[in-house]
Chains A and B, each alone.
Chain A
Amino acid sequence: MSQKTGLLPAGVSDPAGVRTALAAAGYLADDGLATAAYLALRLHRPVFLEGDAGVGKTALGLALSRLLGAPLLRLQCYEGIDASQALYDWDFPRQLLHLRAAEAAAGAAGAGLDSAELEGELYSRRFLLARPLLAALETTPSVLLVDEVDRADDEFEAFLLELLSEFSVTIPELGTVRAEVPPVVVLTSNRTREVSDALKRRCLYHWVDHPGFAREVEIVRLRLPDASARLTAQVVAAVHVLRAEDLLKPPGVAETLDWTEALVALGTESLDAELATLTLGSVLKYREDLERARRLDVGALLDAAVAQA
């Protein structure tokens, strides 16, 4: 692994190469995303992905970890997340046990406790629980996925900022832990909140859109090889028609995959109006949307979809 090529796998020297490697890992990226992944691997810059739910933001983290053969360390953000859940925590029960054991041993031997030595033991690495962020710094190579960073609050963002710019943390009792090679970092956001510009400035920003028809068919074929070509094309076309409707929650690629999977599980080779109505619940998750889709006349919708396919 040389300084020049960063974490790029052997034989990959341009965005197109990364794209091929990602496809082999089960992820079909477009030009923008492939360039983002290439720059992230080469320049050690975090990738910040924004987009609707279910367009494959989290999946990129998984694919990168498969591509590199590196462990994926995932941190799901939520409101109120703090350093002891994201970075590290001391294992207090074990520290106490150790203290008691040391006391008992000293008592039996009739000797006093060497407090300095004991303290050193109590605050050593073996009593430290590494949470995802610290684990990512200590594992080389690794892929760190910070999921839904928009759900965390400002305080956590500021803390993350510090970590992502230095790739090191200081633990007061232990010293500084620095990553040998910075991990590949993927941050995702559903845009429920505008993430601060200071954090985004350090990242490569990419807006992930819904894929076009042909690419979505490819994605479904790649992920669900059991589905027939006809069924896949029909489902994707139907989802595209639904996406064009004015829905509360337009279905993402994740929903297309769910729907196809449901239909495969039902043992069908092609989609008809009745089946579609029965399984619509795997694509649309709002009552208003379901009603709207039913009013659409699913038969006509399918005809339109098949004509498109």
Chain B
Amino acid sequence: MSPADAVETVVGFASTLRAAGVAASPDRVHAFVTALGALDANRRDDVYWAGRLILCGNADDLGRYERAFLAYFAGEAPHRKLRPRPMPAPVARNTQGVKAAPDGAEAEDDPDGPRLSSAASVTEVLRSRDFATLSAPERAELDRLLAALRLPGELRRTRRRAPSHAGRIDRGATVRELLRSGGEPARLRRTQPRRRPRRVVVLLDVSGSMSPYAGALLRFAHATAQWGGPTRPGAGPAPEIFTVGTRLTRVTREMAHRDPDAAMAAVSAAVPDFSGGTRLGELLKQFLDRWGQRGMARGAVVVLLSDGWERGDAALLGEQMARLSRLAHRVVWANPRKARPGYAPLAAGMAAALPHVDDFVDGHSLAALERLAAVVAGAERGTARA
């Protein structure tokens, strides 16, 4: 391969990679070309490893890289083949949910919905209405209100310290000031530990039994994901969001879209198991094995939004909940069905999980979600260890 050929090949390969979902940015491609100059560009292994080392950024990229490499250097034109599935149009799940409301919830089928003339009072009424009973215009209004919700974690002390008028003496700053004034005793400088919100992890049940609520709860999750992260220092880490059904899907990245409709479209493309069954125990185990135990759940506030209807083994769920409660700072379970009159945690999964839940709250209405946010922030407590 002559150098000019190599550059062309590399650029072609990079665009294949990008089509396969690996973010091979131009500076990385440049570094790749440099590395090939240091290696033998005619040796397949050298090219493979140099590319893998430089163009990949995380473990999820490795599989994609592998496939793209095989396809590209086997001479196929793989751009089309490797392209991820096109995103389906956003599914209007929200409006369908109303009619699908199970156990005879009084679905209001008034096609025009209530007249939203006096916005304030309507908002007030809407706040305490069960998501499952809303009409389409009410839902649109609800989505607007949900966008204002935040879910910051409880504050914790960090090891970083910030200047303050009280607290431990800051030796460095005090002496620096002393030196500045020529050794004359100066004012004592003090520091206090800084406080930051804990990480929040949201596990959202998207199984069939949750479908009347999934739409609104996803919007809620999206609103919370807009807050925090590296772009907003001081707000703490952005919440991690997973959907749970028959499969565990991490949707944190999809939820990061600023526009809620784009985010919902991305999520419905990424989540293959809307309205399926629930294998809470097994998926919770998967979450803990892959993410939770490594650190994501450590010291975090973990929020489960689920009705606790477990199709799998309830004993496994209990076991994994115990594991989760040992890792997490607090486990909050929000169950949209809890608010129903006469509700008792009889679903096998719910009963097995409850002993390991720190706060058990409702999750059926805007007011309930506001309360959930207060519980997560440590301002209120739910039913403890019911």
Contacts and interface: CB of A to CB of B under 8 A. Distances in A.
Interface of A: 14-15, 31-32, 35-36, 38-39, 42-43, 45, 50, 78-82, 84, 89-90, 92-93, 95-96, 99-100, 103, 113, 115, 122, 150, 153-155, 190-194, 196-197, 200-201, 204-207, 248-249
Interface-central residue, B34, B59, B179, by most chain A CB under 10 Å: B179
Given A200-B58, A204-B54, A191 B294 contact: yes
Contacts of B175: 92-93, 95-96
B183 A96 contact: yes
B25 interface: yes
B26 to A, nearest CB: 11
B160 interface: yes
Contacts of A89: 172
B182 interface: yes
Contact of B57 (A42, A115, A201): A201
Contacts of B46: 15, 35
A35 B159 contact: no
Given A14-B40, A115-B182, A39 B35 contact: yes
Given A39-B54, A82-B160, 18 more contacts: A31-B45, A32-B49, A32-B53, A35-B39, A35-B45, A35-B49, A39-B35, A39-B38, A39-B53, A43-B35, A92-B172, A92-B176, A95-B175, A192-B294, A196-B230, A205-B53, A207-B62, A248-B293
Given A82-B160, A201-B57, A43 B34 contact: yes
B24 to A, nearest CB: 10
Closest 5 CB pairs of A and B: A192-B295, A80-B159, A92-B175, A35-B49, A204-B53
User: Which secondary structure characterizes the binding site on chain B?
Assistant: helix
B158 interface: yes
Contacts of A84: 172
Nearest to A32: B49
B59 A191 contact: yes
9 contacts: A14-B40, A84-B172, A96-B179, A154-B230, A154-B233, A192-B295, A193-B296, A201-B28, A206-B53
A96 B184 CA distance: 11
A96 B54 contact: no
A150 B298 CA distance: 13
A65 to B, nearest CB: 21
Contact of B172 (A79, A90, A153, A200): A90
B50 interface: yes
Nearest to B55: A205
B23 interface: yes
Given A115-B182, A248-B293, A39 B45 contact: no
B159 to A, nearest CB: 3
Contacts of A100: 183
